[in-house]
Structure formats: structure tokens, C-alpha cells
Structure 1
Amino acid sequence: MASNITVAPISTGIPTQVLQFENQDPQRTNTIDLWDVAPRGVFYTNTTDREAGKYLKIVEREFEHCGKHYRLTIKPARLKRAGQETEEYPGEREQLVEEVVRRLAQESGRLRLDGRDLWMTFSINEISEELARTGHRYSWSEVKEALQILHLSTVEILRVDPDPKSETGAVTNVISASAFPQLGFRERGRETSETTIQFNSLLTSAIRHLEFMQLDYDTIMSLKGPVPRWLYKRLSHNVFYGDHDANIQVLTASDLYRGCGLQPRSRKRDELRKITGAIDALKNAGIIRKYEIQDVNDGIDRRRKDDIIYTVYLSSVFVEDITIAKKRHQLIKTDYAQIEGADPKEFIPGTAQKRDQLRRKRASRKVTEQPELQF
């Protein structure tokens, strides 16, 4: 169970990076590279593994992102439900709760710095109401349990291909932590309860170094099922970090199936159907304009389909949205350099003068530059 902790963040000026993470547009959210595309969810658990009191297996996966290869390990959370011990992996419910937490985190004054750590306070009711608004209804107790699973389950990500920055070429440990390493509940009735979380080191580092990008929050929450939501993020990151031809993506069903976190199926056609369904969902949502397929046979029986190669043509609206996100990202870094006179390496307590500088930069941009670059 989560420990009941009382968090008293150090009373210092809000760092410029945190102010730049804030965004008052409710239709946008900030996404973090690698963490948000890693296959961190388990969407089906074998019924024989769910016996009360029985330990679930550690899940191990390998995936590729932006030309780099990673190994991911998920350790389930162990908690009590109706007085009985059980274990749970983070699944679709936990992913949706984390999306809402991230969206709330960018509201003004939400994040607080304590030393080198970022903390956030909210109420479970806020999460429940936002989930309901976006078409995902969970009870107060279900949201609380989801937060506990996000706190108690751990994720380890290792880079397994040679890192050019490493002198030995050894495996690089990217992170080993839960989504929220510390979690505290202060309950004084459901309406006035407070929940406090600590962001993990990968999220904190991304904010400190201004390595985040904005995505369409409404699109993420409107897509049905974890696979289309994951594929939307994957394509967004591919375009954001890709070259000028990134609006055409060549993808394979086998790579997408491994990357999205689904458990292997006994029948290959079921896996292929699941991925094609996710691509169709993004086409219906206007993210993909069209796609072409090339069947890959297994080499023995030419009638048996072993894989599918998709050539995906992204819509101009989607590509333009990511192009604007790139411009926002560049402006955020430029603003920081001009205000702080340095690259974003550490959290430096802000001042009223720095906050005013940032406010004036945004105000002048609103009047003289492109309105779509407001954030």
C-alpha cells in the first residue's frame, strides 16, 4: 500500500523550466520521449496467474525507438483488494489516469520543486471528473487503486545496443523506477482529499532539460483502446524527431505489436488484425491519410501470412500539428537561453523578473507572431 506521507516542498521560486512546462490550453498535453512510447502496459493477464495471493511473473520485452534498441522489465504491484492480497500490472486504466495526471501537471502552480525532485498535489475527484469528461468512467476507488499500481509497479528500461557515448559499449540503464516513486493520500472526506505524487527521474529530467513536446490531448483521450493511443504517440515522436520525409512511415506489424505491449497470440493473424485495426482507427481519426500494405509470407507456406509491411501516409493536418510542436519546442529553448543565459541543465529558482520576461515574450508573440504558437 502507498505510505501516508506529508510533503512540504521547499519554498523557492518556480524554475523557468517548470513555467515553460505549464500550458493553459486544455486541448494540449506534454509528452516525454521514450517514457511515453515504451510498452509499459500489460493489457491481458492469464486467469491462472490471477489466483489470489499468487505472484505474477516479471514481464520482459524488447522494443526499438528512433533507431535505438531497448529492453524493458515490468514488475507488478502487490496490493490488497477487499482484504486479500493480489498483484496487478499497470494496464489501460493506469495509462488513462497517468494521462490525466500529466495534463493537470501543466496547469499553473501545480508542480513544486523540492531539492531536485518535482511534486504535484491534486484530488482523486479531479481525476475521476476529467476521465468522465473524456468518456472514461472510473469510480473514486478505481482511480485510487490505479494510482497505487502506478506507484508500486516498477519499470526498468535498458538500452541494449552500443551507446556511442559509452567508452565500454556496455548496456546503459535509462531508468528503474515507478511512474510515481512516492505517493501520499490525505483523506478528509472524498471531496477534500489530497493526493501528492513525486515524478520519477526520467520525467523530471525531461522537464529540467526542456525535452518534452506538446500533443493533442483530446485526440489521445478520444481514441478507443490502448493500441491506437500508443500508435498515435509513436507516430508523433517519429515525425518530431525524424527527418523531412517523416510524413511517410514504413512500419511492420511485428515491430508495432512488440512495441505496443500486447501479449503474443497463438495465431499470427490475430496479431496482424489487431495492428491493422489500430491503423484504421488512426485513419478514421484523420491522423493517417492513407496506407498501403505488403503481405510477408512465412517462407514455407506462401498462403500463410507472417507479417505485414505498411507504408503509411500521414495527413497534412497531423504533420502540421507536429511541425508547430517543433516550433514551440525551439521557442521554449530559445526563451530559456535568453532568460537564463545558459542551457537548461539544472533547476534554478526563478524570480519575479524572470517570470515577467517569459510573460512578455509570450504576450509579444501572441500579437506579432503566429497565434498557433501560443503555449
Structure 2
Amino acid sequence: MSQKIVSKQPATTTQNLQYDLFTTFFGDVADLSNTIELWDAIPKYAVSPRTQNALRSPDSRLPVHEYSFVYATRRNGQRIEHACRVAIQPAAIKIDDTYIDYYPSANEELIEEVIRKIFADQQCGVHDPKNAESWVRFSVQMIRKELKLRSKTRNLDEIKRSIDILSRTHISLYLDDNQDPVYSAPILSDVTRVNRQKYLTDTSITWVARLPALISKSVNELTYRQFNYGVLMSLSSQIARWLHKRLSHNYTNASFMDPYEILFSSIQRDSGFLAYARTNDNLQALETALVELQSNRVLQSWKRVDERKAGRKILDIKYRLHAHSDFIGDVKAANARLRDSRATLSGPPPVHNSLPSGR
């Protein structure tokens, strides 16, 4: 499916059912948002600032970061896995008189999450279902206030730098054995910036950005799910936030009688976050995240149920996760909302084999 190139927000907007459904939640709207099926599976924010510092060349440049992962989805009740590769072209940010390369990391992850939450407010978002384009209007102050509300305070300069990184980082996604990317674009496209002088002249002027085409495709096809954004923003570690989103999107039968089982190797492969040299350090980071999910009432309990070893060396571990009643309630609300949305559209969304180009 081709993607029309647009350099500015559409001059006129019309109400459409797809966007109405995307912005309608079952529960407390302030604490709810949407997971996006494929977009959120891409490990975009996994290279820590410390690792970036170690990788930079003497002239402050970074190489293209490539990472392989598996994207799993369901079509007609069947689980389908795709071997994927993402190539991340770092953003060159001018600081004083020097350009320094950055990969997006934890700050950018949080700010993208906030911008998507803002998009779910119909006063701030525009979705064009025909061209599969989504636009969001926001201000740096809006982002700052939301981050502060969620105890993730960032100052204005930090937020602006993150927006620069999001708009200058280029993501290319390769699916299965394809040599050409099925998707290629910045995380935020066509960002229109408003400086302080213009803002003081007209306080209605805000920043405008186009969201990734994969998000727009998901809005059109109902391949997103409601999840507890408030819980996500309360979590301190990236791996805990990744696990919460994965569970929110995939653990659709969450109940006291149906635990969720997952391998350490799958988490390490697909998240990109467990990159320590020693296996024990990775296990400690993962299990600290599981404890955090337990303390935030996502999990009731968790345990190791199977370990595969070679001598004393741990090769893999299977974890069994039991959902907390709060999370079960979140999943039931998300399931009800999805059923309602599909009924409103008179049946399940169409299945497309193609993915949209980013540009």
C-alpha cells in the first residue's frame, strides 16, 4: 500500500468513525491510551545513554543501529511470527557548535507516549482514513505538564531535544527475508515548530507533527488495544514498561485460571533491553521489573517454572505470570471496547498483507 507524501497538516478535517473509535475508551479516559500492534513491537528505544556514550566515535558520531527481533500476531485465530530487523539511523543534534548523534532512548519513549496520549484527544488529533495519515497538535508545555503529573518531570529544553531526536531519527523495518524495508520514516514526521515569539503573539499556535503511518494503519484496521496508560507511566524501568505493553496487547484471556508463560530468551530477543554481558545481570534486571509489575498490581505473582542449563550455565528460563485482579479488569474493559468497536464497524477489520511506506 503506497503512502501519500504530505508536508503539512490537512487544511480541513472531517469527522470519521475510525478516529472516533480510537479516541473512545471504556473507563477513566485520563488513564487510558492505546497500544499499537506492530509499531510498539519495534525495539526503538533500547540503546541506553551509557551505551551510546561508549559507541560514539571521537567526532561524536554513531553507526546505524541494527537489531533483529520476532513480531508475532494473530490472523483468523492463527499465531503468525515474522522475523524482523530494524535499522535505526541516529539523529544528529547540534549542541553549541558540535553535532552529536543520538539514538532515541528512555526520554524519547516517554515523550512519544505522551504525544500519542495527546493524539487520543479529539481537540488535538486529526486522522485521515483515506490516506492513512494521522496528525497531532501539541505544545511543549502540554508535554511538560503531563510528564510532571506522572512523576516523570523533564524541563523544556530536555523535551525539545527529545522532539528533535524523534523527528530526526530514521526507522527502517525489514520483514522476514525482504531486502527492502516495508516501512521507512522518522518517528515523528513533518514537525512544525513554533518559537516563543510566535507563541506569545498567538497562544493558539502549537507544534504539529505527523505520526507514523503504522499508527495510522492501526487506527484504520482496529489493530490497537486499550491499555492502562496511568500504570505504564508510573513504572520506572523500560523493561517493566515493555512487559506491561506486551501483556496488555497479547494477554487477552487474562484471568486467575489462565497464567501467561514467556521465555527469558524471547523477552531478551524482542525487547532489546537485556543487553548486559552477563546472563545473571540480565536475569536480575528482568526479575526486578517483574517485582515492579507486581507492586503496581499488574501481576499477582510470578515464578520460574522451567530452567534449561548446560552445566551450571543458564541457557533459558520459562516464567509463569499470574495476573492481578486490577490487570484482569483492564483486559476485560479492553476486550469489551474492541468488541463494541468491531460491532460498530459491522464486523472484524479487513486483513491486509501489505504495510504502508513511511514516506
Give the TM-score, by structure 2 length. 0.82
Q: Which whole-Å deviations, capped at 9, do the CAs of 1:191-228 have from their partners, x for residues lacking one?
A: 64621100111011111223221111110100111110
Show the counterpart of 2:234.
222
- Asked if 1:150 corresponds to 2:166, the answer is yes
Of the three residues 124, 131, 142, the one matched with 1:110 is 124
Q: Which whole-Å deviations, capped at 9, do the CAs of 1:69-111 have from their partners, x for residues lacking one?
A: 3222222111212231010000000010011111111112322
Q: Counterpart of 1:256 in structure 2: which amino acid? A: I
Change beyond 3 A, Cα 1:48–1:325: closer
Change beyond 3 A, Cα 1:12–1:262: closer
- Asked if 1:72 corresponds to 2:78, the answer is no
Of the structure 1 ranges 120-129 and 247-256, higher mean CA displacement relative to structure 2 is found in 247-256
Show the counterpart of 1:328.
337
Structure 2 counterparts to residues 27-66 of structure 1, below 5 A: 27-41=31-45, 42-44=47-49, 45-51=51-57, 53-66=59-72
**Secondary structure at 1:36 match in 2:** helix
Q: By how many angstroms is 1:263 displaced? A: 5.9
**Secondary structure at 1:186 match in 2:** coil
Q: Counterpart of 1:267 in structure 2: which amino acid? A: R
Q: Counterpart of 2:196 in structure 1: which amino acid? A: R
Show the counterpart of 1:194.
206
Change beyond 3 A, Cα 1:246–1:10: farther
Show the counterpart of 1:261.
272
Of the three residues 300, 310, 315, the one matched with 2:324 is 315
Change beyond 3 A, Cα 1:325–1:65: same
Kept after mapping to 1: 8 A contact 2:88/2:170: yes
Greater Rg by CA: 1
**Secondary structure at 2:336 match in 1:** helix
Change beyond 3 A, Cα 1:48–1:291: closer
Q: By how many angstroms is 1:330 displaced? A: 1.7
Kept after mapping to 2: 8 A contact 1:223/1:229: yes
Q: Counterpart of 1:64 in structure 2: which amino acid? A: V
Instruction: Measure, in 1, the Cα distance between the counterparts of 2:257 and 2:168.
Output: 37
Instruction: Measure, in 1, the Cα distance between the counterparts of 2:138 and 2:266.
Output: 37
Kept after mapping to 1: 8 A contact 2:140/2:159: yes
Instruction: Measure, in 1, the Cα distance between the counterparts of 2:257 and 2:109.
Output: 27
Change beyond 3 A, Cα 1:112–1:46: closer
Structure 2 counterparts to residues 255-294 of structure 1, below 5 A: 255-262=266-273, 264-294=275-305
Q: By how many angstroms is 1:244 displaced? A: 8.7
Show the counterpart of 1:373.
none
Q: By how many angstroms is 1:8 displaced? A: 4.8
Instruction: Measure, in 2, the Cα distance between the counterparts of 1:140 and 1:123.
Output: 10
Q: Counterpart of 2:272 in structure 1: which amino acid? A: G
Q: Counterpart of 1:272 in structure 2: which amino acid? A: L
Kept after mapping to 2: 8 A contact 1:22/1:108: yes
Unaligned residue ranges in structure 2 (runs of 5+): 1-5, 73-79, 352-359
Instruction: Measure, in 1, the Cα distance between the counterparts of 2:281 and 2:115.
Output: 33
Q: Which whole-Å deviations, capped at 9, do the CAs of 1:332-369 have from their partners, x for residues lacking one?
A: 1221339xxx9679xxxxxxxxxxxxxxxxxxxxxxxx
**Secondary structure at 2:241 match in 1:** helix
Instruction: Measure, in 1, the Cα distance between the counterparts of 2:22 and 2:247.
Output: 22
Kept after mapping to 2: 8 A contact 1:6/1:184: no
Kept after mapping to 2: 8 A contact 1:122/1:194: yes
Change beyond 3 A, Cα 1:201–1:245: farther
Kept after mapping to 1: 8 A contact 2:188/2:211: yes
Structure 2 counterparts to residues 132-151 of structure 1, below 5 A: 132-151=148-167
Change beyond 3 A, Cα 1:292–1:303: same
- Asked if 1:178 corresponds to 2:186, the answer is yes
Sequence identity of aligned pairs in percent? 25
